[in-house]
Structure 1
Amino acid sequence: MIREIIVVEGKDDTTAIKRAVEADTIETGGSAINNEIIRRIALAQERRGVIIFTDPDHAGERLRKIISSRVKGCKHAFITQEEANRKGDIGVENASPEVIRQALEQVKTEFTGGDPEITWADLIDAGLIVHPQAAERRLKMGKLLGIGYCNGKQFHKRCNAFHIGKDEFLAAVGKIEE
């Protein structure tokens, strides 16, 4: 049984989570989240902790940002669009139980404060921005680091919000260059 309550977008996501692990969920009802759901998530965070596990698309990322800005200290689970794709439909409900378990094993906790360890220059040196294959490299790095895919600015923010250390970052860079 997973201790934290997993926040998902809908019923089909809950079904997919329950096929993979024993856990409780809160469904947001899609990307249109209301204050009542935010209060439930805040209470869950206070009592058991929360893992945000939204779809790897624009609406899912928007929802993740809304929740984490209003409920501090949330954990995050990520899957790639490729792992969540079934016939062009992107969603957690399409991920295999194994992919869901792997994402939950790589959960990251968001922190605020402290000096950033990964700099903008580190991203340039790693070819994650200002590089012909930057998007592809960020996709691979996001999977290796367990922080999902995003644009360069958001990738930089996630590296530091999830306290990705320089050693962990450089090890992942080494793997994508193999």
Structure 2
Amino acid sequence: MKIKELIVVEGKDDTTAVKRAVNADTIETNGSAINNKTLDMIRKAQQARGVIVLTDPDFPGEKIRKTIAEQIPGCKHAFIAKELALPKAGRGIGVEHAKPEVIREALKDAQYMQETENEEISREDLLDAGLIAGPGAKERRELLGNILKIGYTNGKQLHKRLMMFQVSRQEFAEAILKLRQEDIHE
């Protein structure tokens, strides 16, 4: 599978994992303290070929993703669920631990993230769905992120993430129905 866009990853091990899964070029951020030189490279890549951001499903990965989204609009974002980015043994979480088929699926499902003023889903909707506060809310958010392929986020950021990915009321309702069928802490 050949990917036209450049894929932004965190480090060399992530590049190795991506190249095992697909034929693609990568840009490595070399950690969460992403510098201006790297941002300029990503900006140039976005203009020339497009960019897919594929960072680890952890706090530093989200920090990198947020920095890129703020600085370089129009990038696609791909997510790998935490449980699919765990090592067979040892510690850590990351793209480098994901199986090739998981990486291919994440890249295939990459989506644009953009700011929007159109609020289809309210914070009240999130409360009603048990996604903010209460027992099991974290697990439901994690499952929702996997269902919608927008990654995991905390309660405060969920509303913003739904808006950035322009999730419609219908998509949200279908995801909540699927979530409830999974019977997570209901």
Please classify the TM superposition score into its range, dividing by the shorter chain length: over 0.9
Paired with 1:106 and 1:153, the residues of 2 have a C-alpha distance of 24
List gaps (5 residues or longer) in structure 2: 182-186
Residue 34 of structure 1, CA deviation: 1.0
Matched, 1:105 2:126: no
Partner of 2:184: none
Matched, 1:46 2:61: no
Residue 131 of structure 1, CA deviation: 2.5
Matched, 1:28 2:26: no
Runs of 4+ residues over 4 Å off in structure 1: none
Paired with 1:150 and 1:112, the residues of 2 have a C-alpha distance of 16
Residue 79 of structure 1, CA deviation: 1.0
List gaps (5 residues or longer) in structure 1: none
- Percent of paired sites with the same residue: 54
Residue 8 of structure 1, CA deviation: 0.3
State the secondary structure of the residue aligned to 1:82.
helix
Contact 2:116/2:166, CA 8 A, preserved across alignment: no
Residue 113 of structure 1, CA deviation: 2.9
Residue 32 of structure 1, CA deviation: 2.0
Q: Which of 137, 149, 160 is 1:146 aligned to?
A: 149
Aligned residues: 178
Partner of 2:122: 119
Paired with 2:156 and 2:104, the residues of 1 have a C-alpha distance of 28
Aligned pairs for 1:11-22 (under 5 A) are 11-22=12-23
Structure 1 window deviating more from structure 2 (11-20 vs 111-120): it is: 111-120
1:3-54 per-position Cα deviation (integer Å, ceiling 9, x unaligned): 2110000111011011111111101111121111000000011111111101
Matched, 1:177 2:172: no
State the Cα RMSD in Å. Answer: 1.0
1:126-154 per-position Cα deviation (integer Å, ceiling 9, x unaligned): 11012211000001000000011110121
Matched, 1:131 2:134: yes
TM-score normalised by structure 2 residue count = 0.92
1:105-132 per-position Cα deviation (integer Å, ceiling 9, x unaligned): 2111012233111110111111101221
State the secondary structure of the residue aligned to 1:90.
coil
Paired with 1:133 and 1:153, the residues of 2 have a C-alpha distance of 16
Paired with 2:114 and 2:153, the residues of 1 have a C-alpha distance of 18
1:49-80 per-position Cα deviation (integer Å, ceiling 9, x unaligned): 11110111111111111111111111111112
Aligned pairs for 1:60-79 (under 5 A) are 60-79=61-80
Contact 2:133/2:155, CA 8 A, preserved across alignment: no
Paired with 1:113 and 1:160, the residues of 2 have a C-alpha distance of 6
Partner of 1:6: 7
